[in-house]
């Protein structure tokens, strides 16, 4: 029960800190943070998932396609931005 209480105390306190800091920032900061989390965090999450997943049998095809999509879109993304 104490672990659950600690979890909610941390969660509520961090949300409040984010809310307070968010009010003091310009409008561009949340936009840039969202773009950073999308363009950097999502591919990192995919790579970590692919490294830890059990890739035996037919599921290997899905992992290969995901990796191929990342490799193909990276040059396009770098060219656009």
For 19-31, how does the pLDDT look when each residue is reduced to its tens digit (9 = 90+)? 888 888 777 888 8
Find out whether 50 and 66 touch, Cβ atoms under 8 Å.
yes
Is pTM beyond 0.75 here? no
Query: What distance in Å separates the CA atoms of residue 70 and residue 67, rounded to the nearest whole number?
Result: 5
Report the sign of the C-alpha dihedral through residues 52, 53, 57, 63, in that order: negative
Q: What is the DSSP letter of 40?
A: I
**Each residue of 32-73: pLDDT tens digit?**
888 888 889 888 988 888 788 777 778 778 878 888 998 899
Find out whether 38 and 32 touch, Cβ atoms under 8 Å.
no
Predicted local distance difference test score (pLDDT) of residue 1: 64
């Amino acid at each position: 029960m104490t672990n659950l209480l600690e979890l909610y105390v941390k969660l509520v306190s961090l949300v409040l800190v984010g809310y307070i800091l968010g009010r003091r920032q310009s409008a561009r900061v949340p936009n840039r943070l969202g773009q950073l989390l999308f363009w950097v965090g999502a591919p990192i999450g995919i790579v970590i998932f692919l490294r830890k997943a059990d890739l035996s049998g037919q599921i290997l095809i899905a992992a290969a396609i995901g990796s191929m999509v990342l490799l193909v879109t990276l040059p396009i993304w770098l060219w656009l931005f």
